[in-house]
Amino acid sequence: MDFDFSPEQVTFADEVERFLDEHDDPEVFDLTRENMAQIVDTPKRRQFMRQVGERGWLGITWPKEWGGQDSDGVYEYLLNEALARRGGPQIGKGVGIIGKTILRHGSEKLKQEFLPKILRNEVEFAVGYSEPDAGSDAASMKLKATRDGDGWRLNGQKTWTTSAHFAEWYWVGARTDPESKHQGITLFLVPLDHPGITINPIWTMGDERTNDVFFDDVWVSDDYVVGEVNRGFQYISEALDLERFTMFTFSPIQQRLDLLCEYVRTSSVDAAPLKDDAVVRQRVAQLVTQGEVARVLGLRFVAASMKGGAPPTTQASEYKLYATELSKRLANASMDIAGPGSQLRVGTEDAPMKGRAESTYRYTVIDTIGGGTSEVQKNIISRRKLGLPKNF
């Protein structure tokens, strides 16, 4: 099996690096923001993403008839990993999740309205599945949609909606059939500036903002139903598979592994070089090996998704579970190995590993929750891959 990239892919990766060098800007690239925090939330980041769009690099895998390049997912992977390596915003939600789902299931109207805007990065989305009583079990969502004329009236609450405070559109699931669980959910697109919507902040331990969102008699036309009524949970499940891969990149893990190795190579504790400590050496060697496993699981998802059809569920869960748990183990090890100094924050002069240990120690926990917890990924793998019975 050949894990190397082809000459064309290497040329593309080099081109991306040159582009990123030319657009280097500390207000766009921030290495303290990883994965779920790598969002397009400021005017500068929006402007930068528009330039990525002008290069034709958004929608690389989309069909040509919708402005894409009909190209392999590996190019999208290379672009996203390069962006993540510099702490830049990722192509995540618009192109990777909402755009791809609209392409597969959306009406002609939704395609016409949203796909060109996504490719020009003129629109940001928030994703609303979770509710106070429906997180891991998202199919228990209660946000109520009742039939009203040529549309639906939405009432209720969502929680943990990242991006709702700056996005224009809400990709939101609601209950259209109270008699059915999985077959009673419909997916809507709702403008977030609707007067019936209230957005309240929730601040996370990773310094990023997410939100509670309240719906008070929000009317949505049938035109903004995604796909078929009551089939929303199927689309949400597919979109979650995409999210589990596109929102959780590997390159920041590799970077932090390199920082840890360099720290161990060059630092001492009580005049004893860390590189001579057998326990530290063993721990670092294990992490580096696990890093290779995560990298290859990511490539396996890319290869499986290039076969077309629905995104590969098991591979998405295996990658998300392994990469985010490794990321957390790495943050823990970095804190342990660097000792008290590891608590110094990013921006502090001489902080071990540039202060990344402290920030990632707090943030990597969140990555094992958002997009479905590690336990949920294990349940998916148990059922879909191993054929074990459902546990709830």
Residues that bind ligand FAD (CB under 6 A): 36, 127-130, 135-136, 160-162, 204, 210, 366, 369-370, 372-373, 375-376, 379, 391-392
Rounded least distance, CB 250 to ligand FAD, Å = 20
Give the tokens for residue 102. Answer: 């609209």
CB nearer ligand FAD, residue 190 or residue 302: 190
The pair phi, psi for residue 67, each rounded to 5°, is 90, 5
Partnered with residue 157 across adjacent β-strands are 214
Rounded least distance, CB 212 to ligand FAD, Å = 11
CA distance 176 to 180: 9
Rounded least distance, CB 316 to ligand FAD, Å = 14
Q: Is the torsion defined by CA of 68, 74, 77, 82 positive or negative?
A: negative
CB nearer ligand FAD, residue 36 or residue 287: 36
Rounded least distance, CB 62 to ligand FAD, Å = 23
Give the tokens for residue 34. Answer: 């990883």
Rounded least distance, CB 303 to ligand FAD, Å = 27
Contact in structure between 144 and 117 (CB atoms under 8 Å): no
Contact in structure between 329 and 289 (CB atoms under 8 Å): no
Rounded least distance, CB 72 to ligand FAD, Å = 28
CA distance 290 to 328: 12
CB nearer ligand FAD, residue 128 or residue 227: 128
- Exposure on the CB side of residue 8, measured as CA atoms within 13 A: 4
Task: Specify the pairing of strand 151-158 against strand 272-273.
Answer: unpaired
Closest listed residue to residue 164, CA positions, set 32, 34, 41: 41
CB nearer ligand FAD, residue 6 or residue 200: 200
Contact in structure between 25 and 44 (CB atoms under 8 Å): yes
CB nearer ligand FAD, residue 60 or residue 138: 138
**DSSP reduced 3-state for 5:** coil
CB nearer ligand FAD, residue 106 or residue 370: 370
Contact in structure between 173 and 128 (CB atoms under 8 Å): yes
CA distance 33 to 84: 9
| Residue whose C-beta lies closest to ligand FAD | 135
Task: For residue 142, give the amino acid letter.
Answer: K
Partnered with residue 4 across adjacent β-strands are none
CB nearer ligand FAD, residue 82 or residue 174: 174
Rounded least distance, CB 130 to ligand FAD, Å = 4
CA distance 389 to 122: 44
CB nearer ligand FAD, residue 162 or residue 254: 162
CB nearer ligand FAD, residue 135 or residue 151: 135
Closest listed residue to residue 143, CA positions, set 212, 95, 89: 212
Rounded least distance, CB 140 to ligand FAD, Å = 9
Rounded least distance, CB 136 to ligand FAD, Å = 3
